[in-house]
Amino acid sequence: MSDFDQIIVGEEWENTDLSLLETLDHVLNRGLVIAGEITIAVADIDLIFVGLNVMVTSVETANEVLRKRQATE
Partner 1 sequence: MRLYVYCLAEGVDRLHQTLRGVSDAEVRIVELEEDLSALVSVYRSDDFQISRKNALAHHEVVRSITEQTTPLPTRFGTVVTIEQLRNYVSTHHHAIKAKLAHVRGGVEMNVRMIQSIAAADTSREPEDAGGPGTAFLLEKRREILRDEAGAAQKGQLSAWLREKLGDFIKEEKISITPSETVILARADHLISRADVQEYRTKMAKAVEERPEIRFMVSGPWPPYSFANIELEFSSQFGVS
Question: What residues make contact with partner 1 under the rule CB under 8 A?
Answer: 1, 4-11, 19-20, 22-24, 26-40, 42-43, 46-47, 50, 59, 62
Please report how close the Cβ of residue 13 comes to partner 1 at its closest, in angstroms: 8
Q: How far apart are the C-alpha atoms of 19 and 6, rounded to whole Å? A: 14
CB of 32 or CB of 71, closer to partner 1: 32
Which residue, 54, 51, 43, is CA-closest to 19?
Answer: 54
- Least distance to partner 1 from the beta carbon of 6, Å? 4
Minimum CB distance to partner 1, residue 33 (Å): 5
40: left (phi over 0), alpha (psi -120 to 50) or beta: left
| Three-state SS at 42 | coil
